[in-house]
């Protein structure tokens, strides 16, 4: 589904990702771990199409298409979803309005009729139940005055509505208490299907108690320095990142 080959990325002339390779197939869950500043968010942003970052070399294909030929909004409509590490506030725009606009853009792209207000509200209620978020949240402006936990749950709710093929969750777990963490993990698990894939970015092993990854990758200084089964995460937790740094 997603193939990254030899990817190098810079921002303002500074190389952040260097020679990165990654392959994600349908039905898989990948975890990317690594210390702060290792380039995890940058990787997610590049896949999502943020123009702030310059791709120096390498290629990414998604469902057989060259990802660099697609602007960010088209990638989204084709099923790439990014759960933001720091979801931004959009004052005055209700979540309902925001998500209805987003969903209808996607439907238009896929040649489907837009959902009416009533249809959308019904769908929204279903998804709210599914990911277990409070009903009042969706009347509020996008992320405005939300607590850290509310912001992250909102990301999962949006993911539920958009039903992505490839979801990249950037530290959706950080700053959450155990209950919120479970809500987030539950959402991800319920949304898992044969034909979609998830990349969870985290720097704690904790989340992986609830979301069981098929692969764990360790990102360090812009490179994946180690990949392995889920046990790798536990080993990391035990020995710390220094262990890998030294081995490198």
Partner 1 sequence: MEDKNNDILNEVTGSDYKYGFYTDIDMDQAPPGLTEDTVRFISAKKNEPEFMLEFRLKAFRYWQTMQEPEWAHLEYPPINYQDKIYYSAPRKKPKYESLDEVDPELLETFDKLGIPLDERKKLAGVAVDAVMDSVSVGSTFKKTLSEQGIIFCSFSEAVQKYPDLVKKYMGSVVPHTDNFFAALNSAVFSDGSFAYIPKGVKCPLELSTYFRINAANTGQFERTLIVAEEGSYVSYMEGCTAPIRDEHQLHAAIVEIVAHKDAEVKYSTVQNWWPGDKDGKGGVYNFVTKRGICEGENSKISWTQVETGSAITWKYPSLILKGDRSTGEFYSVAVTNKRQQADTGTKMIHLGKDTKSTIISKGISAGRSNNSYRGLVKTSRRAENARNFSQCDSLLLGDQSGAHTFPYIEVGNRSSIVEHEATTSKISEDQLFYCLQRGIDMEGAIGLIVNGYAKEVLSKLPMEFAVEAQKLLSVSLEGSVG
- Cα separation, 115 vs 20, whole angstroms: 40
- Cα separation, 81 vs 128, whole angstroms: 18
Do residues 111 and 63 lie in contact, with contact meaning Cβ atoms separated by under 8 Å?
Answer: no
User: Hey, which residues does 46 pair with through a beta bridge?
Assistant: none
Does 40 bind partner 1 (CB under 8 A)? Our answer is: no
Minimum separation from the CB atom of position 166 to partner 1 (A): 12
Q: Which is nearer to ligand ADP, 131 or 176 (CB)?
A: 176
Number of residues that bind ligand ADP (CB under 6 A): 12
- Cα separation, 49 vs 63, whole angstroms: 15
Query: What SS3 state is found at 146?
Result: coil
16 binds, among ligand ADP, partner 1, Mg ion, none (CB under 5 to 8 A by kind): ligand ADP
Minimum separation from the CB atom of position 221 to ligand ADP (A): 9
| Residues 24-53, mask of contacts with ligand ADP (x by CB under 6 A) | ----------x-xxxxxxx---------x-
- Cα separation, 4 vs 122, whole angstroms: 38
Minimum separation from the CB atom of position 42 to Mg ion (A): 8
Find the binding residues for Mg ion in span 64-103 (CB under 5 A). Answer: 85
- CA torsion sign for 105, 58, 165, 222 is negative
Minimum separation from the CB atom of position 25 to partner 1 (A): 23
Which 3-state string (H, E, C) describes 166-196? EEEEECCCCCCCHHHHHHHHHHHHHHCCCCC
Number of Cβ within a 10 Å radius of residue 217: 22
Find the binding residues for partner 1 in span 114-143 (CB under 8 A). Answer: 141
118 binds, among partner 1, Mg ion, ligand ADP, none (CB under 5 to 8 A by kind): none
**Stretch of 47-55, 61-69, 112-120, 217-225 contacting partner 1, by CB under 8 A:** 47-55
Find the binding residues for partner 1 in span 181-240 (CB under 8 A). Answer: none
């Amino acid at each position: 589904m997603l193939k990254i080959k030899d990817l190098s990325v810079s921002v303002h002339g500074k190389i952040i990702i260097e020679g990165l390779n990654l392959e994600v197939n349908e039905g898989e869950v990948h975890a990317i771990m690594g210390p702060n500043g290792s380039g995890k968010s940058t990787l997610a942003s590049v896949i999502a199409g943020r123009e702030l970052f310059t791709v120096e070399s390498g290629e990414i294909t998604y469902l057989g298409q060259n990802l660099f030929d697609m602007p960010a909004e088209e990638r989204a409509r084709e099923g790439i979803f990014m759960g933001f590490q720091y979801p931004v506030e959009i004052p005055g725009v209700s979540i309902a309005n925001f998500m209805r606009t987003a969903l209808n853009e996607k439907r238009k792209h896929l040649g489907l009729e837009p959902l009416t207000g009533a249809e959308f509200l019904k769908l929204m209620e279903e998804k709210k139940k599914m990911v277990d978020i409070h009903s009042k949240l969706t009347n509020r402006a996008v992320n405005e005055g939300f607590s850290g936990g509310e912001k992250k749950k909102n990301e999962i709710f949006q993911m539920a509505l958009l039903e992505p093929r490839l979801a990249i969750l950037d530290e959706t777990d950080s700053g959450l208490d155990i209950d919120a963490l479970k809500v987030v993990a539950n959402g991800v698990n319920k949304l898992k299907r044969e034909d979609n894939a998830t990349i969870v970015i985290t720097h704690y092993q904790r989340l992986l108690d609830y979301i069981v990854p098929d692969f764990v990758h360790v990102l360090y200084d812009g490179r994946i320095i180690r990949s392995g089964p889920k046990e790798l995460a536990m080993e990391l937790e035990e020995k710390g990142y220094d262990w890998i740094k030294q081995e490198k």
